[in-house]
Structure 1
Amino acid sequence: MFQVEKCICLVLLFTSTSVYVKGYKVKSISKTVFQWAHSPYWDAGSQTLYFADINGGTVSSYQPSTKKLNTAKVDIENNGTCSVIIPIKGQKNKYAVGVNNCVANITWDGTSSSTSKPSIIVELNQNKTIRTHTGKADPMGRMWIGTVGPFRENSQGQEQPDYYKAGNEYMITASGKAVVKIADVSIPDGLAWNADKTKMYFVDCYEKKIVVYDYDNGSGDISNMKVVFDTKANNIDGYPAGLTIDTEGKLWVAQFFNGTVLRIDPESGKLLKTIEIPAKEATSVAFGGEKLDVLYVTSARIFQHVLPPTKYSGRVFAVTGLKSAGNPVTGYPGQPILAI
C-alpha cells in the first residue's frame, strides 16, 4: 500500500512505558498492543478517551484517573472492521461507529468485553471491499466519515489498481442520509474545524497533503479547497494521517510511517514542532485530560512486512509537557453526535 521511505532516528530515553525527549514526555497508557488503533475521541464529561482498532474490530475506553483500559469486541459480520467510536449525545451508552462499509450505532457500558450487535444506520457503498476508515462529528454534531478501498498488494508490494481513489468523505445527515462531500479520495483521514466554525481541515493521506475548505456550519457545505501543507514538498518522510487542532488554531498531525506528530501553522504553512513517538505507524491524535493539555496518539503494527515494529508499535500514548511560548498547549474535547 505505502512506499517505505527513509526513517528518522529517534534519540530517546526509554523506561518500561515512558519516553522522555526534548522537554516533553511520551507515555504508553498501557502495555496493550492493538493492530490498528485509530480515531481517538476525548469525552470531557466522563473524562474518558475512546478509540477503535480497525483491524481488530474492537472499541476501547480509557480513564486516566484510574488508568483502566477496557476493550470490547464489536459483534461485526465476518469479523469485520471497526474504524471509529463517537458518543451520541443524550443517549447513555450509545455510540456511533463505522463498521465495515456502514455507519451504525452500538450499545456499550464502557467496561464489558463485548458490545451489542451494531444497528446499521446507512450503508455507504454496496461494494463490500470498501470500508470506513475514520470519522468525527462536526460543530453541529453531524457525523463525517471516510471510506477506503482494499489495501491489497501484489507479490512485489505494488498497489492494486482498484485501490487508488476508491474512497469518499461523507457527511451523515440527521435523517441518516449519506452525502458525499469529497469524492474519489484514496485515504481520507484527519478532520478538524476551527473555533470560528468557518474552516474545515482535511488530510488526504495518500496524496501527502493537508488541505482547508471554507465551511458553512449551518449546511455543512464546503468550498474553495486549498493546500495548507504538503509533507512531500517539505521533505518529510511518511504520510499525514489523523489530525486535531489546538486553541491557538495550530494543527497537530500524526505522521504515519515516520513515528512523529507535526505541529503546523495553517496560516503560514510552516512546520512549528515535531514530536517523536516510539512507534513508526502513528495513526491519529486527540487532545484530552482535565485541562485538555494531554495529546493522545494512537498507533498501529499492520505493515510489519515492510516496516519492522518496535515493542511500542500498536500502543496508545499520552504526550505531556507540550508548550507554546512557555504556556501549555491545549485543545478541544470531542464533539458528540447530536443527531443520526
Structure 2
Amino acid sequence: MNAIENIGPQCYHLGEGPHWCQRRQLLFSVDIPGTAVCCYDPSKKSMTKLKIPGESISLIVPIEGQDDEFVISRGRTLSILKWTPGSDDYQIIRDLHEVDASQPKNRLNDGKCDAKGRLWAGTMGPQIEGRPGYVGALEATLYMIDAKGCHVKLTDVELSNGLGWSEDNKTMYFVDSPKRSVDAFDFDLETGDITNRRVFYHLDTDDIPGVPDGLTVDARDNIWLAAFSAGRVLEIDSKTGKLISQVEVPSNLTTSVTFGGKSLDELFVTTGRDLGDEKLRGPVDGSLFVLHSVKVQGRPAMDFVKP
C-alpha cells in the first residue's frame, strides 16, 4: 500500500460521516461540533465548508436524483438541506423527524443508507468527560427512516456508530463503540428487519486500544474499521472475522473511513482533534487523509430515497 496523504490539514474539530458521491466525484463529510457540512473535490484538491448555526451535525447523505439536496442531522432532528457545494447559501427545506424525544440530551450520530435507500441513523448520549467514545448509559437508539416513517430498530444502545452491509444484503454490521466490538445481524432487505445479533469482531482479539468508530465494506465484503484513539484503520475478513491488515494513520483520533475515487480504490479517513488523553494528541489531528491505490475497491455509497 502507498503512503497516506494529508489532503485536508486540520479541517475538522471532529470529522465524521464521509460519503463518497460517485456520480459527482465528491467527498461529503461533517464537522460535528463545528456544525458544518464539508465537501472535498479531488479534481481541485480543495475543501469547502458550510457552517449551519445551531446544533451539532453528524451526518450528510445526498438525496437520490437531486444534486444539491441532502439529508443531514441537527441535534436530534433529521432535515433536508439544499446546498450547492462551494456556496455560502443554503436552505433547510424541511425537517423529517425528531428522535429520542424522551432523551433531550441525546443527539444523532452516525448514519448510512441501505440498498433500498432507507436511512439508518443512531443516537448517543453525552460522553463521559475525558473519555471520548464512552457514555455510561444505555439510552440511545438505532432508527430506520423510509417513506412510511421513522422506525425503532434497536434500543439499549450506548453510542451508535459505524454501519455497513454485506454485498448480498443478508448481513448488517453495527458498532456500539463502548462495547469495543463490531456486531453483525441477519438482515432482511425487503422488510428492514435485523435479527440474530452476534459479535463479529472485538478489539480485544488483537489487543487494539481505543474504541471502534466508523466503518465501510469493500467489494470483497471485507470490513474496514476506524479505531478511535488507536491511530489506525483495521481490515477484517468478513468470512472469518480475523484481522487481515492495519493501516497506520498519522493521527491517533481516527473516526471514520470510506472508499472513493474514480475506481473506488482510494481510502479516505476522517479524524478529530483536542479530544481525550492529551498524550494521544498530535499536530495533524483533525485532518482528512487519503490512502491512494489501496489495491482493493469499495462499493458505491447509497443515496437517500426521500419520502
What's the secondary structure of 1:232's corresponding residue?
Answer: helix
- Compared with structure 1, are the counterparts of its residues 136 and 307 closer, same or farther at alpha carbon in structure 2 (3 Å cutoff)? farther
Q: Indicate the residue corresponding to 2:99 in structure 1.
A: 124
Deviation at 1:329, TM superposition (A): 0.6
Q: Give, in whole Å, the separation in 1 of the partners of 2:180 and 2:30.
A: 23
2:165 pairs with 1:193: yes
2:237 partner letter: D
2:81 counterpart residue number: 106
The answer as to 2:115 corresponding to 1:115 is no
The AA in structure 2 aligned to 1:147 is: T
In structure 1, how many angstroms separate the alpha carbons of the residues matched to 2:131 and 2:64? Answer: 43
For the 8 Å contact 2:112–2:119, the answer to whether it is kept is yes
Residues of 2 paired with 1:163 and 1:120: CA distance? 30
CA distance in 1, matches of 2:73, 2:84: 18
- State the match for 2:208 in structure 1: 236
Distance of aligned partners of 1:302 and 1:99 in 2 relative to their CA distance in 1, 3 Å threshold: farther
1:165-196 alpha-carbon deviations (Å, 9 max, x no partner):
12111101213x22111211111111111111
The amino acid that maps onto 1:115 is: Y
Larger Rg: 1
Q: Distance in 1 between matches of 2:207 and 2:61?
A: 34
* Gap regions ≥5 residues in structure 1: 1-22, 323-327
Within 2, Cα distance between the matches of 1:24 and 1:166? 42
Looking at structure 2, the residues matched to 289 and 125 of structure 1 have their Cα atoms a distance apart, in angstroms, of 36
Distance of 2:261 and 2:273 partners within structure 1? 26
Provide the C-alpha distance between the structure 2 equivalents of 1:267 and 1:283, rounded to a whole number of angstroms. Answer: 24
Find the aligned partners of 1:260 and 1:113 in 2 and give their Cα distance.
34
Map of 2:189 onto structure 1: 217
Residue 281 of structure 1: how far off its partner (Å)? 0.8
Show the counterpart of 1:140. Answer: 116
1:60 aligns with 2:13: no
Q: Which has the higher mean CA deviation after the structures are superposed, 125-134 or 48-57?
A: 125-134
Output the CA distance in 1 between the equivalents of 2:276 and 2:212: 19
Task: Report percent identity of matched pairs.
Answer: 32
Structure 1 residues 28 and 218: alpha-carbon distance in aligned structure 2, compared to 1, 3 A threshold? same
The residue type paired with residue 20 of structure 2 is W
Distance 1:304 1:220 in 2: 36
> Which residue of the partner structure matches residue 290 of structure 2?
318
- Secondary structure of the corresponding residue to residue 261 of structure 1: strand
**Alpha-carbon contact 2:127-2:135 (below 8 Å) kept:** no
Residue 84 of structure 1 and its aligned partner are, at CA, apart by 0.4
SS for the counterpart of 2:122 is: strand
* 2:65 alignment partner in structure 1: 90
Structure 2 partner of 1:7? none
Label 1:195 to 1:203 Cα distance change in 2 as closer, same or farther (>3 A): same
Q: Which amino acid aligns with 1:208?
A: R
Aligned to 1:253: 225
Decide whether aligned partners of structure 1 residues 272 and 135 sit closer, same or farther in structure 2, where only a CA change above 3 A counts: same
SS in 2 for 1:197: coil
2:304 aligned with 1:332: no
* In structure 2, distance between residues paired with 1:199 and 1:330: 19
Q: How many positions carry a matched residue from both structures?
A: 305
**What is aligned with 1:28?**
6
- Tell me which stretches of 4 or more aligned residues in structure 1 moved more than 6 Å: none
Secondary structure in 1 matching 2:109: strand
How much has 1:117 moved relative to structure 2?
Answer: 3.5
Asked if structure 1 preserves the Cα contact closer than 8 Å seen for 2:252 and 2:280, the reply is: no
Q: Which residue of 2 aligns with 1:69?
A: 47
Distance 1:95 1:163 in 2: 32
Structure 2 length-normalised TM: 0.94
What's the CA shift for 1:90? 1.6
Structure 2: distance between partners of 1:262 and 1:304: 21
- 2:137 is aligned, of 155, 164, 171, to 164
* Alpha-carbon distance between aligned partners in 1 of 2:231 and 2:131, rounded to the nearest angstrom: 23
TM-score by length of 1: 0.86
Counterpart of 1:42 in structure 2 is 20
